[in-house]
């Protein structure tokens, strides 16, 4: 594999390998790892996640990857959070208030307030709120696949990069400095999702 080294943080929860395989498909040397040295050597870092916020945070801490994630963000390298991995970047979540998040994006993860069924489990169209290199070539309304009952509500609305509509305006993607995060699953979102990941890999190659 000749592409940039992308570390996918392996803390033992969910199908983390699907993110690794999608990144490999778009040219990354993506490795599922809990090795702090390998993460430090990577050009970019990905934090995926599925399931419950509290369980994921507990598993990340048991795997000794909390400080590793903070160091990766502080290094300025491209960092991508996906689904519950995105939620973990916030200060905390209404799903499990007893567990603190990573606090990388100030704000909280809140239940969807819609009368529509939870979770939202469907394809949905993004409304891009601010230009971002990860959206290059995707148009203004790319389609992405969602499975979630909560969304991130940042303290600074400028950190919202894209929304979608699901009985309310739902915050779907975020940008804070070198950190980009998605509530949707780009690895399950066909052409548009792979396009976003390819843009991320290009950023990694340029880092």
Secondary structure class of 75 (helix, strand, coil): coil
- Give residue-wise pLDDT tens across range 165-193: 999 999 999 999 999 999 999 999 999 99
Sign of CA dihedral 66, 70, 73, 76: negative
**Does residue 148 have an active-site annotation?**
no
Poorest-pLDDT segment among 107-111, 115-119, 153-157: 115-119
Catalytic member of 95, 148, 187, 191: 187
**Does residue 159 have an active-site annotation?**
no
Secondary structure class of 205 (helix, strand, coil): helix
**Does residue 94 have an active-site annotation?**
no
Catalytic member of 56, 83, 151, 159: 83
Catalytic member of 99, 159, 185, 191: 185
Strands 179-182 and 169-176: antiparallel
Q: Does 16 have pLDDT greater than 90?
A: no
Phi and psi of 57, rounded to 5°? -65, -40
Structure tokens at 103: 């606090």
Q: Does 1 have pLDDT greater than 70?
A: no
Residues across the chain: 207
pTM metric for this prediction: 0.97
């Amino acid at each position: 594999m000749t592409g940039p080294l992308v570390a996918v943080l392996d803390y033992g929860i969910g199908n983390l390998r699907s993110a690794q395989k999608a990144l490999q498909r778009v040219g990354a040397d993506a490795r599922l790892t809990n090795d702090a040295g390998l993460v430090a050597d990577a050009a970019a870092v990905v934090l995926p996640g599925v399931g419950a916020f509290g369980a994921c945070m507990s598993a990340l801490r048991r795997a000794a990857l909390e400080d590793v994630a903070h160091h990766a963000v502080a290094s300025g390298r491209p960092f991508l959070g996906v689904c519950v991995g995105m939620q973990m970047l916030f200060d905390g979540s209404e799903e499990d208030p007893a567990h603190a998040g990573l606090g990388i994006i100030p704000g909280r993860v809140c239940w969807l307030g819609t009368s529509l069924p939870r979770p939202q489990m469907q394809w949905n169209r993004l409304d891009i709120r601010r230009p971002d290199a990860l959206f290059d070539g995707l148009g203004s309304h790319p389609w992405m696949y969602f499975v979630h009952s909560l969304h991130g509500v940042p303290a600074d609305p400028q950190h919202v990069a894209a929304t979608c509509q699901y009985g309310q305006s739902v915050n779907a993607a975020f940008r804070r400095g070198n950190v980009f995060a998605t509530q949707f699953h780009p690895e399950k979102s066909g052409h548009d999702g792979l396009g976003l990941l390819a843009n991320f890999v290009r950023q990694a190659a340029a880092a």
